[in-house]
Structure 1
Amino acid sequence: MQLSDKHEGTTTKAFAGLRVLDFSTTIAGPHCARMLADMGAEVIKIETDGGETMRTRPPLRKGCSTVFGQLNVGKKSVVLDLKSEDGKEAVRRLVATADILVENFRPGVMRRLRLDYDSLRPINPRLIYCSISGYGQTGPSAELPAYAPVIHAASGYDMAHLAYQPGRDRPDYCGIYHADVVTGTYGFGAIASALYQRTATGFGQHIDVSMLESMLTLTLTELQSSQFAVKAPPRPMFGPTETANGYVMITVASEKTFQGLMSVIGRPEWISDPRFSIYAVRRDNWGDVMDGVEAWSRQLTTDACLVALGAAGVPASAYRTVSEALADPQLAHRRALSEVKDEGGSFQVLNLPFRMSGADTTPRERMAVLGEHTRELCDEVGLADNAPIPSGKTVAQG
């Protein structure tokens, strides 16, 4: 269903009427809160007067970061000094009106500010308080500093990935922050679950999300094989297959796709060959399988390979850049991107990767200026005289 194909009721926002206080920074927490905002919650981002870290991350236009925009579009911006009594009192009054709080400080920071769950629960027993941290809120590693690249290394993910790169022994550099996005998404799911539970109990709760444990969920096979002796195939089963002008990714994950692939490469007799006829033996001889596949694929262009594989129902793709992926007509069909605006102009952000027949999941259209809603929300909770800065303050960034 395209977003324009709306029947009665589809303009509803699933989380409309909920208020979220977002104390988080960088990626994991802001990603979680952005999902809540897209689902209709009023998300109030609490920042310092210097602005959140990601406001300075490129690409920048007129000092405005589109990466920050991707993570924070649709949120309100309030500047508070959490070390001052006025700032903490403003938080307490906002908490009394809130449904959800998201924070990803190092464990102990909110407790020292007296803004932890135990301190705020008496003010609002219905509050759902989500803490995202590197290793969890308690335990011997709890207070260690952690960002996604550290968690990638600590979780075993980087070494697991390296094991699929024959002839290499140095781990990859980290530039894509899986741990942040995965953890933020788990936080979103836990919050949605707590909201449902609250309808029955009437009470909120504390959610403790660990980046380490979230990252471990990506190593499903490795988590199990690390407990048992499992022989690795002589060639990784999923990797680049060479063509006449590049590479394709071919994924054989069922008997049907294996049979289809053998038909495409002109080796139908391999379907019953004792070396390949059942998965366990085929895995041990996977190098021979792929030698046969590449003897076929190297004679054809990438496009010709994909046409032949597609006709046989074999899952395959060319290796694309992100720019090439964004130009895919499938994304246009699903309206996967939305145009939003900040003070630097307009840019595109990715929508939530799911569609709902009864709810609108698209983001709001603009980024708030730093501190834009400070005066408004301090007025609401009766602290207008204590607003730390005038609304709409901007911060020079390079």
Structure 2
Amino acid sequence: MLADLGAEVIKVESLEGDQVRARPPKRDGFSAYFGNLNAGKQSIACNLKSPEIIALIKDLIATCDILVENFRPGVMARFGLDFAALREANPRLIYCSISGYGQTGPKALSPAYAPVIHAASGFDMVNLRYQDGADRPATSGVFIADVLGGTHAFGAIQAALYQREKTGAGQHIDLSMLEAMVGMLVFETQEAQFPGDARRPLYTPLKTNDGFIMVAPTSPRNFEQLTDAVGHPEWRDDPRFLTNADRNANWATLLALTETWTRERSAEEAEAILSRHGVPCGRYREIDELLDDPQLASRGAFAEISDGAGSFKVPNPPFRMSGSRVEARNHVARLGEEGADILTKLGVDESAVAALRARGDLL
């Protein structure tokens, strides 16, 4: 996201490279998954066990505004690259650590990936409670905690940059993916403290004759629009649906009656009719449908970038700015592609770069 806003981002990789480079979908050895996550970044691949490399990385960090790392707490200190070791050389440095549980606390050193955090945060059990008939938490496939943690880091970095403009001083950002997930469970956090009310209305997929549609008539006006759309204005006088509280108490019944109408139509037809009447709704779509979606196309939601295997689409940030270019940059670095150039800009001469390569410390 920082690169999408035009920041010069240098990815420091091991000599073996980020493991995501090997993940599918791959074409001719190039991972589109990696390209999606790393568009616009430069790459330097080096041996972080080499004292000379560590010294050069410190010199590099001294020229940077921001450092982002997501090792387990303590790993950067073992490299000699923790915030305390770097802030003297670069007091304006904004140092962002992203970890599963944060830098402190009894679980700080526990290993954690997104699916683990989904389970530990209560998110998966909340979802299970909302799935009538399910007997175990859902399988993880979309790594919400990773994306949510990165997005919170993006916001925190902006705030730290703004504070630095006022004070001249950088700072350490300690971001916990667990806390990011807990913060997303707004209603559930309060319900856990004050239980006892009726179950909240759940938004259930409604069947159509060729798929599913989501219908969300949450406001009194939406309910009236729904009754018009499905041809049942008499529902407005039904004692079960007279007030918002009545509708919430009989929400499942309202959706079941609506499903009687949607089952007789295709998802596309139901969506068109409901939308025409102003009812919030959306048919369930496969992800490949979105690649050519007119709404997303009109917004420029995707950028087309290229790597060594050809071009592919990646999402742009979900916001537009009137005075800034906001889009994925068309560059996917090969492993260590800019390493020599980065060191040369630091003042390392060509013979020294060649020596690092000869010793196997630099790709």
TM-score where L is the length of structure 2: 0.94
Which of 308, 319, 325 is the aligned partner of 2:290? 325
* Partner of residue 242, structure 2: 277
Cα deviation code 1:180-201 (max 9, x no counterpart): 1111000000001111111100
**Partner amino acid, structure 1, of 2:66:** I
Q: Does 1:247 align with 2:212?
A: yes
> Which region of structure 1 is more displaced relative to structure 2, 379-388 or 35-44?
379-388
Question: 1:348 offset after TM fit, Å?
Answer: 1.4
SS at match of 2:106: coil
Taking the TM superposition and a 5 Å limit, the aligned residue runs for 1:279-318 are 279-318=244-283
Q: How many Å separate the matches in 1 of 2:362 and 2:124?
A: 40
**Partner amino acid, structure 2, of 1:84:** S
Question: 1:326 offset after TM fit, Å?
Answer: 1.9
Cα deviation code 1:34-67 (max 9, x no counterpart): x111111110100011011100000111211111
SS at match of 2:239: coil
Question: 1:375 offset after TM fit, Å?
Answer: 1.1
> Which region of structure 1 is more displaced relative to structure 2, 254-263 or 132-141?
254-263
* Partner of residue 3, structure 1: none
> Which region of structure 1 is more displaced relative to structure 2, 159-168 or 179-188?
159-168
Kept in 2, the 8 Å contact 1:369–1:394? The answer is no
Judging by fraction of residues, say which structure has more helix: 2
Kept in 2, the 8 Å contact 1:341–1:347? The answer is yes
**Partner amino acid, structure 1, of 2:13:** E
Identity over the aligned pairs, expressed in percent? 50
Which of 83, 90, 93 is the aligned partner of 1:117? 83
* Partner of residue 22, structure 2: 56
Kept in 1, the 8 Å contact 2:145–2:181? The answer is yes
Q: How many Å separate the matches in 1 of 2:220 and 2:230?
A: 16
Gaps of at least 5 residues in structure 1 are 1-34
Question: 1:274 offset after TM fit, Å?
Answer: 3.0
Taking the TM superposition and a 5 Å limit, the aligned residue runs for 1:1-398 are 35-233=1-199, 237-384=202-349, 385=352, 388-389=356-357
> Which region of structure 1 is more displaced relative to structure 2, 279-288 or 76-85?
279-288
Q: How many Å separate the matches in 1 of 2:49 and 2:340?
A: 19
Q: How many Å separate the matches in 2 of 1:300 and 1:61?
A: 40
Q: How many Å separate the matches in 2 of 1:99 and 1:296?
A: 57
* Partner of residue 17, structure 1: none
Q: How many Å separate the matches in 2 of 1:143 and 1:386?
A: 36
SS at match of 2:289: helix
Question: 1:301 offset after TM fit, Å?
Answer: 2.3
Kept in 2, the 8 Å contact 1:336–1:353? The answer is yes
Q: How many Å separate the matches in 1 of 2:341 and 2:229?
A: 65
Q: How many Å separate the matches in 2 of 1:250 and 1:209?
A: 36
> Which region of structure 1 is more displaced relative to structure 2, 299-308 or 168-177?
299-308
> Which region of structure 1 is more displaced relative to structure 2, 146-155 or 284-293?
284-293
Q: How many Å separate the matches in 1 of 2:218 and 2:48?
A: 52
Question: 1:386 offset after TM fit, Å?
Answer: 5.1
SS at match of 1:371: coil
Question: 1:232 offset after TM fit, Å?
Answer: 4.6
> Which region of structure 1 is more displaced relative to structure 2, 48-57 or 258-267?
258-267
Root-mean-square deviation (CA, aligned residues, Å) is 1.9
Runs (4+) off by over 6 Å: none
Question: 1:267 offset after TM fit, Å?
Answer: 2.7
**Partner amino acid, structure 1, of 2:328:** P
Matched residues, number: 358
Q: How many Å separate the matches in 1 of 2:266 and 2:21?
A: 44
